[in-house]
Structure formats: structure tokens, C-alpha cells
Structure 1
Amino acid sequence: MNIIIIEDELKAARSLENMIAEVRPQAKVIAQLQSIDSSVRYLTENKQPDLIFMDIQLSDGLCFEIFKSVKITCPIIFCTAFDEYSLEAFKANSVDYVLKPFSKTDIADAFKKVDELKNFFQQSIMPDLGNLLSQIAQPAGKKSFLVFKHNKYTTVSTDSIAFFYIRNEATSIMCFDQQEYSLNQSLDQVISLLSPVQFFRLNRQYIVNFNAIKEVEHYFMRKLFVKLTIPTPEKLLINKEKAPVFLNWLENR
């Protein structure tokens, strides 16, 4: 199996290559690329590999720009520190979406999914690739959260949550009925539990439910101003770097 690694952090690329050598010694890393430009050039001039490990934020932009210039037909395992791009990754031949810092077990599990994909094609006359990738790569998301309020434990349905946010340095839940609850998890932990189809992390302070979004406006400095169906303690702003990803999420969910 020939593999290329697209990763702008050399230390991370070396670490990944070492893990690949441990969990799949018969595989060969034939190239390490650090940018959109170098990746497009390599994939245009060379035969495509059997598998690509790809970071999302590269030195010259988001890796999804590569797909605008090159048709990639091999499976891709995305390795990234950012969880909000999983929907876009899913549309780009994604077999797995591994969050940094990843372990040797994570890489081994990713290879297992690649093997399952190959076995499926070998056994099926008319394979439904979209359905298979959906089953393999698309997380269902947590159905409820256990909360404690007024000396009682109760569960809050995820569908009833309008948004999660940071209040007084702690994570809080705001429901559509404007009931509020506290959580022990950080927003980083929360977003990893949610369906990326239903929830989006706007910024460091807020994760919102698609059903809570009322409208979106352009704001100063190419930011976006997101209005919800219920009041929020402050304006919900998305910076210009994340704005295209958010709009794509709105359009393609």
C-alpha cells in the first residue's frame, strides 16, 4: 500500500509516519507534502496513492482547496485538531476523521476502516459507496446530557438544546424553552460528542444547534453575525476564516 501524508507540521508528519510503520509495516509512505500548492502539483504529476493521510489546515489554507484542482479517487483519512470540518471531510472521500493528538490505536482503527471499505467492494456487485461511508465516517451524536440542578439529576435531550456556551469560565446548556443547565465538560469535549450535521462550533464560546439559527448577516471585517430564535447573552460572531466553512455547513447539511 502506497501512502502520502499531507501535513504542514513536520514533527506531526514524522510522528504519523512512525505510527503507520508500526501498525501497518507493509505500507510505504512515498511522499510528505506541506501545502496546497505542493499537493496539487504532486497529485497532478504522479499516480495517485492507495491512501492519503491529510491535515485540514495547511500552511497556505484549508486542504479542501486541493479538491478544486485535482480529482482524488483514493480514500482519505483526515487527521486534524479541528472537529468542525467533519461534514466537509465526509464529502471528500473521507474514510475516517481522526482528531489530534491521535494515538497508535487511532491510526490502527483508521486502517481497519479502510480494510472494511475494500472488503465491501470485493463482496458487493453494486456497492453503495455513499451509504458505506455514511456508516463508517458519520457519527450519530450524543442523544442526551446528564445535568444536575436544584439538588436533582436529570437528562436533557440533545434535540432540545439551542446552544452550548461558556459562562463564567464554565460550560452551560441553553434549551429552546430557555431553561439553563451547567455541564462539567469543556466545549472541546462537548463538540466531540455531538453530531456535526446538527451542531456547529461558531467560536471559542458557542456551539449552536442548526434548528436554533434564525438568520445570518454580514458584519464588519468580513465576519458573520448569527441570530438565533432565542436571546443570547452576547452577539454571536464568526471570524472571516471560519465563515466559508459555516456557510457551507448551512447549505449542505
Structure 2
Amino acid sequence: MENILRELRPNAKITGAYQSIEESVAALSKGPQPDLIFMDVQLADGLSFEIFKSVTISCPVVFCTAFDEYSLEAFKRNGVDYVLKPFSKEDIAGAMKKVDDLKNFFQQKTIPDLSDLLIQMVQPAEKTSFLVFKHQKYTTVQIAQIAYFYIRNESTSIMCFDGQEFSLNQSLDQVTGSVSQKQFFRVNRQYLINFSAIKEIEHYFLRKLYVKLVIETPDKLLINKEKSTSFLSWMENR
């Protein structure tokens, strides 16, 4: 993180790095607060949200963590972005841009537009990877590797372009809300597909569409007539 920040903002001063709630509270209780804090959720002695109970933090916070289930709590605690590990230089650059945009927003508007502010502050970042567990090991699957998500035996699974399959502990609705709407489309209740996985589309009975992917699916992918227009529009407007 420090290496990325020094590369992105060579003139910025990093005032400290702390591993625990106790160290963080002690540091933030002394002197002026920093302009920005990058904060993990799970620290050595507990969740970082405990810090806010002991000290008032007035600066924006970018949360960086491997766990996506804390995003709502993070945005209640000065969070302006929520970056999931493993993060890249581009992820941190995007978070810094969001902070700069908010700063410019307040400088340009005496009375801020609440709806604009909420859109900028509360909208979570799109996921770039998923943490999965298989063969007694944790690993991450990058979004670009995923051909489609689908419901199998009442649970959500990932199917990769190389044929590897992983289970997720999230619902398909949760996954749909966390990935790029430009890159993924929910064709029906069971499948969320990657644009890059689409091979061809055929007209089917009753004005449905039959979508074929570059990798096989356990079920035939059919889009009903009510959804076919929005699907074709999604395909076209990219």
C-alpha cells in the first residue's frame, strides 16, 4: 500500500502505519488528523470500527479489506470507498480520485446537493475479484476469469473460462449488485453471464432468445420476450 501511494502521490506524507485499534486510537488522539486514512477492517485486536467509538475522525476513510460483508458499516464510518483485496494500483488510484472529486465538490458548492453527494459516497466500488475456498485453501478469482455465475443446488457457483468451478457464500442477487452492470447481465433467475462469454444469440420459440456461451452451461440459457429488448440493448450499448 505504501509503495503504491508513494508512486501515485510522491509529494504526500505518510504519517504512520498502525496494526491495532489501540495504536490507531493513540495516534489519532494526538495532534491534527491526516487528510485521508486507509483502513483495514480486521486489525490485530478487533474490527477497526471500534476506533470510531474512542476518537472522532473528521477526515475521509478508504477501507481496504478482503471481506465484502462490512461495506454498509464502512460507509457509516466516514467511508468514501471500499476496496477489496487483493487490490491493484488502479483500485487505489480510483479511490484517490473519488476523494479528490469529493473535495472539489465541497469547494465548488456552498450548499451541496444531497443526492449527488450520496451517489458519490455510498455507491460501493465494483468488485474486481471474489474470495473462494476450495480443497482446504483460500484463493481469489479475478472477474476477467469468470464466464458466468449460476445457482446450483440452491447455492451460487462461479464457472471460469478454463472450466474451473467454485462455490460462493453469497446469493446471486448479492453478486449481481456487486459486479459491473456493463460487463454482466442477469439473463434469468439462475444465470448471470459475462459479455465476453457470449458466443451467439438465436431467436427461439415464443419470441424468446437463446444465448450460447463459449463454455457450456448445465441449462439452456433462454431470455423471455419481456427481457429480450433490454438484453439486446445491453449488447448494443457498450
| Pair 64,84 (structure 1): closer, same or farther in 2 beyond 3 Å | same
- 1:139 deviates by 3.6
- 1:24 deviates by 1.3
Aligned to 1:18: 3
| Pair 55,133 (structure 1): closer, same or farther in 2 beyond 3 Å | farther
| Pair 123,60 (structure 1): closer, same or farther in 2 beyond 3 Å | same
RMSD between aligned residues? 3.2
| Pair 132,110 (structure 1): closer, same or farther in 2 beyond 3 Å | same
CA distance in 2, matches of 1:181, 1:44: 44
CA distance in 1, matches of 2:3, 2:70: 26
The gaps in structure 1 that reach 5 residues or longer are 1-15, 143-169, 196-253
Superposed CA deviations along residues 166-221 of structure 1, whole A, max 9, x for unmatched, are xxxx962688xxxx8865374278655436xxxxxxxxxxxxxxxxxxxxxxxxxx
Alignment of 1:87-102 (within 5 A): 87-102=72-87
- 1:93 deviates by 0.8
Q: 1:104 aligns with which of 89, 98, 109?
A: 89
Normalised by the size of structure 2, how large is the TM-score?
0.55
CA distance in 2, matches of 1:129, 1:73: 19
CA distance in 1, matches of 2:177, 2:105: 28
- Whether 1:82 and 2:67 are equivalent positions in the alignment is yes
Aligned to 2:43: 58
Secondary structure of the corresponding residue to residue 79 of structure 1? strand
Counterpart residue identity of residue 177, structure 2: L
Aligned to 1:184: 159
Superposed CA deviations along residues 58-82 of structure 1, whole A, max 9, x for unmatched, are 0000000000011100000000000
| Pair 100,55 (structure 1): closer, same or farther in 2 beyond 3 Å | same
Whether contact under 8 Å (2:61, 2:79) holds in the other structure is yes
Counterpart residue identity of residue 21, structure 1: R
Aligned to 2:224: none
CA distance in 2, matches of 1:41, 1:53: 16
Structure with the bigger RCO (C-alpha within 8 Å, sep 6+) is 1
Runs of 4+ aligned residues of structure 1 deviating over 4 Å after TM superposition are 128-131, 180-183, 188-193
- Whether 1:43 and 2:28 are equivalent positions in the alignment is yes
Q: 2:99 aligns with which of 114, 125, 139?
A: 114
Secondary structure of the corresponding residue to residue 33 of structure 1? coil
Aligned to 1:194: 177
Counterpart residue identity of residue 184, structure 1: M
Whether contact under 8 Å (2:102, 2:120) holds in the other structure is no
The gaps in structure 2 that reach 5 residues or longer are 128-148, 161-165, 179-238
| Pair 193,76 (structure 1): closer, same or farther in 2 beyond 3 Å | farther
| Pair 114,171 (structure 1): closer, same or farther in 2 beyond 3 Å | same
Alignment of 1:232-243 (within 5 A): none
Counterpart residue identity of residue 40, structure 2: D
Whether contact under 8 Å (1:90, 1:138) holds in the other structure is no
Whether contact under 8 Å (1:94, 1:133) holds in the other structure is no
